[in-house]
Amino acid sequence: MTKNDTQRSQHLDPRGRKTKILATTGPATSDPEVLRQLFKAGVDAFRVNMSHGEHTIHAETIANIRALESEFRRPIAIFCDLQGPKLRVGKFKDGKAVIRHSGHFTLDRKDEPGDETRVQLPHPELFGLLEKGQRLLINDGKIRLRVIRADEDEILCSAEVGGVISDRKGVNVPDAEIPIPALTEKDRKDLAFAVEQKADWIGLSFVQRPEDLAEARRLMGDYGALCAKIEKPMAVRRLGEILEASDGIMVARGDLGVELDPEEVPPLQKHIVNVTRAAGKPVIVATQMLESMIESPTPTRAEVSDVANAVYDGADAVMLSAETAAGDWPVEAVTIMHRIARQVERDDAYLPRVRFLDTPPDPTTADALSHACMTIADTVPIAAITVFTGSGSTARRVARERPSVPMLVLTPSERTARRVALLWGAAPVMTKDIGSFEEMIGKGKRMALRHGFAEGGTKLIALAGVPFGTPGSTNLLHVVTVAGDELDKHGG
């Protein structure tokens, strides 16, 4: 496809970009009008952080998001993010204490307030597990301890980096696989709430092993997609197995950046994105992307580059956390992220870069046709690819190829439409099922015109399966030309 053709297809795409934006809700977005402004600014999916807030508040937020769907007639994904098993120290006599640099500090099982020499660690599974030389990181790594000796009652450490420690600060254990379940009692209650609210994605925190996903999958039943958040080195070592057991991956750089040296995170981010993309599953890059915009109306140049790099890597979505949940400039943060992604995707070097990753099609008809969509769109001036799907699997196959034009995903399933809202290049549209080839072609043209993905004289690719309505039967690819009066001819 020529540069002019690419610019033309982007003009026809209402969002003008294929990378999705996932924005976290919170106090700054409690007003329905703010949510509306965020959606209009470019948000494709909303994250509900179950670590904070009550279920009644979250239910109200979800209802407001569903109201946006009705108003704009566009499916929106809701991502409920579970807190996970967070390790924390106990409390101190004065609420805090100072750990001396190079001094000794003990973590024990005594149910007593701590001081500058010791504190309770109310996690019995860690005692007897840790070994000499392993690290304990407290308060997001601001305090770094090295184990000298560990037994069933005490963990004696040397403070490599000391400082002020206060009540209930978080503890990271990067050098050991901790034998605790990925779901706490709170997580089970939150998951039940998320399923009741028909959340489209469930984010599972602090995944260490593929088995961690099994219980969540069982409790979810057949509703929603499961996203494994990669934030522990142990998860990276078993990434392939975790990826196989999940529906998508989030590169959660917050805790991952605590447990690894800073310089290890960027190449690891690229590795996780590449492996997930190659598997044909959506991947989200998250945490501190526009962190300074919590307080500032403009980002730093480094933050802009960070977002741009994630887009250049071909991530399906980029995420805003506190920027939209509690920041002073939530709409501005979404606006600048939208502008960055759109600008990167207009770069002539963008497609060659995202396609530098080899994603050869599997030896199936569906994969072969999905690959053909990409090559046809590169050769012929195509406005969009219309994909007819019930489960969303065909859309994922097409997105895996990173075609040069947007993908209009037409589905009779509300659940599928919402779920693919996080998928690269996918614009989901709810529509009645089709029963014939002629109906497929007519509906594809009308929907492309109605939603701004085509105009008179442009060409579309139609991808579907015959017999219609049969999962996994993708076997039909057709190139059609849209007539200017298509909506009138077929009654809109």
Whether pLDDT at 483 is above 70: yes
pTM of the model: 0.92
CB 233 within 8 A of CB 239: no
pLDDT score of 359:
85
Average pLDDT over residues 383-394: 94
User: If residue 440 lies in a helix (H) or strand (E), which one and from where to where?
Assistant: helix 437-450
Given a cut of 90, whether residue 331 has pLDDT beyond it is yes
Question: Residue 336: is its pLDDT beyond 60?
Answer: yes
CA 38 to chain centre: 17
Average pLDDT over residues 154-170: 96
The amino acid occupying position 7 is Q
Kindly state the average pLDDT of the residues 295-312.
98
Mean pLDDT of the 146-171 span: 96
Which CATH topology does 16-84+181-351 take?
A: TIM Barrel (3.20.20)
Residue for token pair 């965020």 = 38
Give yes or no for a contact between 440 and 434, defined as CB atoms under 8 angstroms apart: yes
Task: Please write the tens of the pLDDT for every residue from 187-229.
Answer: 999 999 999 999 999 999 999 999 999 999 999 988 899 999 9
Catalogue the active-site residues: 47, 88, 229, 287
Residue 404 and residue 394: Cα distance in Å, rounded?
Answer: 17
CA dihedral 378, 380, 381, 385 (to 10 degrees): -70
Lowest average pLDDT, out of 159-168, 280-289, 480-489, goes to 480-489
- The pLDDT value recorded for residue 482 is 93
Q: In what order do the strands lie in the sheet with 135-138?
A: 87-88, 170-172, 135-138, 143-150, 154-161, 104-108, 118-120
In percent, the amount of the chain with pLDDT more than 90 equals 83
Pair 319, 281: CB distance under 8 Å:
no
Terminal-to-terminal C-alpha distance of the chain: 30
Return the pLDDT at 473.
75
Q: What is the pLDDT of residue 487?
A: 63
Q: Is pLDDT above 60 for 323? A: yes
Task: Decide if pLDDT at 6 tops 60.
Answer: no
Q: Percent of the chain scored above 70 by pLDDT? A: 95
Q: Please check the confidence at residue 25 and state whether its pLDDT lies above 70.
A: yes
Checking if the pLDDT of 325 tops 90, the result is yes
Structure tokens at 467: 């017999």
CATH number for 365-489 (one of 3.40.50.1100, 3.40.1380.20, 3.40.50.300, 3.40.980.10): it is 3.40.1380.20
| HEC-encoded secondary structure of 179-247 | CCCCCCHHHHHHHHHHHHCCCCEEEECCCCCCCHHHHHHHHHCCCCEEEEEECCHHHHHCHHHHHHHCC
pLDDT at 128: 86
Write out the two tokens for 38.
Answer: 């965020």
Q: Which amino acid is at 375?
A: T
**Tens digit of each residue's pLDDT (9 = 90 or more) over 455-473:** 999 999 999 987 776 776 7
- Over residues 332-349, mean pLDDT: 97
Average pLDDT over residues 460-489: 82
Q: Which residues of 11-25 are buried (b: 16+ CB within 10 A; e: fewer)?
A: ebbebbbbbbbbbbb
pLDDT at 8 over 60: no
What are 30-80's pLDDT values in tens digits? 899 999 999 999 999 999 999 999 999 999 999 999 999 999 999 999 999
Q: What is the mean pLDDT of residues 178-186?
A: 91
In the chain, what are the domain boundaries? 16-84+181-351, 87-172, 365-489
Say what the pLDDT of residue 488 is: 60
Q: What's the mean pLDDT in 400-421?
A: 96
User: Would you state the CATH architecture of domain 87-172?
Assistant: Beta Barrel (2.40)
